[in-house]
A and B are shown apart, each in its own frame.
Chain A
Amino acid sequence: MQQLTTIGLNHYLTISALLLGFGLFAVMTRKNAIVVLMGVELILNAANINFLAFSKYNGGMQGVMFALFVIVIAAAEAAIALAVVINIFKIFKSVDVSERDSLKE
């Protein structure tokens, strides 16, 4: 009971493990490329929670700075990936990633 009522490191690690699992599930099972991207965003958020949790209970700033750079790179990744997905939709009229094995017609 004491473990449940005082918020510690393990609470945050549990949440991030669940988010990682859901993200992997989305990447594995969905055929729509946009939903696969959402799964990747969930995985990045899980990693960020871990960075910040360890930073909080360590007292250092390394985890915070890493999380900041992860957010920037997630933004760049989302922009590029959506440009690619829109191009694929223009060429093939569908975003089903299980059928695509090339980027050209």
Chain B
Amino acid sequence: MSTQTTTVIFYLFAALTVCSAAFVVLTRNVIYSAFSLLFTFFGVAALYVFLSADFLAVTQVVVYVGGILVLLLFGVMFTNSIMNPGQKTEVSNTLAGSLLFLGVTGGVLYSFFASPGWMSTGKTLQGSIVGPVGFETMSRYVLPFEMVSILLLAALIGAAFLARFDKKGNS
């Protein structure tokens, strides 16, 4: 694939990611936000492929789209009465939020582009990273790996405990 094609595809996915993220925060309808978040996650997964992190891209699709987004949709539908399907979210502090958006984004971008450039080590990640990820997980990062598994178990038990029906049955 030529560099020209790669550049065009990169800009397409970048535009998809940024536009759908903007739609997530600008629309009032919670269901629209959730479905727009789907496109954001897919766009971010495509950017991971451009960053030669293929394993992370697949993990992103499986965990975010298959897990977190479904959880969020469940949350939207649980906290939504049958009588008003198009649940609107109230908006407050719009001026402060816009100022925060402009300030943070502008400041971060200014610090990125005003700096004279990043020091390069001269090498980049190439090819598939599945092998290196397995190697690092089982060698240098084995302690964080085990800790994260215990954290997931604790989160599983905690979420089931918190969201259960209480004994009196008045859900």
Binding site for B on A (CB under 8 A): 5-7, 9-15, 17-26, 28-35, 37-39, 41-42, 45, 48-49, 52-53, 55-59, 61, 64-65, 67-69, 71-80, 82-87, 89-90, 95-96, 98
Indicate whether B93 reaches chain A with its CB closer than 8 angstroms.
yes
> Chain B interface mostly helix, strand, loop or mixed?
helix
> Provided the pairs A26-B25, A28-B97 are in contact, do residues A82 and B75 lie with their beta carbons within 8 angstroms?
yes
| Bound CA span A30–B76, Å | 14
Chain B interface residue count, Cβ-Cβ cutoff 8 angstroms? 85
Q: B12 at the A/B interface (Cβ < 8 Å)? A: no
In whole Å, how far is B111's beta carbon from the nearest beta carbon of chain A? 9
Partner of A82, one of B17, B71, B92: B71
How far in angstroms is the closest Cβ of chain B from A37? 7
A84 to B112 CA separation, bound complex (whole angstroms): 38
Report the minimal beta-carbon distance from B8 to chain A, rounded to whole angstroms: 10
Besides A38-B37, A42-B21, 11 other A-B contacts (C-beta < 8 A): A6-B7, A9-B118, A25-B25, A30-B89, A31-B91, A32-B30, A41-B72, A45-B41, A49-B44, A59-B122, A75-B152
Q: Is the CB of A71 within 8 A of B79?
A: no
Instruction: List, in ascending order, chain A residues with CB within 8 A of B64's CB.
Output: 41, 45, 71, 74
Q: How far, in angstroms, from A29 to B21 measured CA to CA in the complex?
A: 15
| List of B residues within 8 angstroms of A79 by Cβ | 71, 155-156, 159
Contact partner, A22, options B7, B22, B91, Cβ 8 Å? B22
Tell me the interface secondary structure of chain A in the complex.
Answer: helix
Q: How far is the CB of B19 from chain A (nearest CB, A)?
A: 10
**Which residues in A have their C-beta under 8 angstroms from that of B21?**
18-19, 22-23, 42
A38 lies within 8 A of B151 (CB): no
B109 touches A78 (CB 8 A): no
Given known A-B contacts A38-B24, A48-B44, A22 and B56 have beta carbons under 8 A apart:
no
What string of 1s and 0s marks CB contacts (under 8 Å) between B7-48 and chain A? Answer: 100100010011001101100001001100100110010011
Q: Are A72 and B152 closer than 8 Å at their CB atoms?
A: yes
Q: Restricting to B79-138, which residues have a CB under 8 Å from any CB of A? A: 79, 87, 89-94, 96-98, 100-102, 104-105, 108-109, 112-113, 118, 120-125, 129, 132-133, 136-137
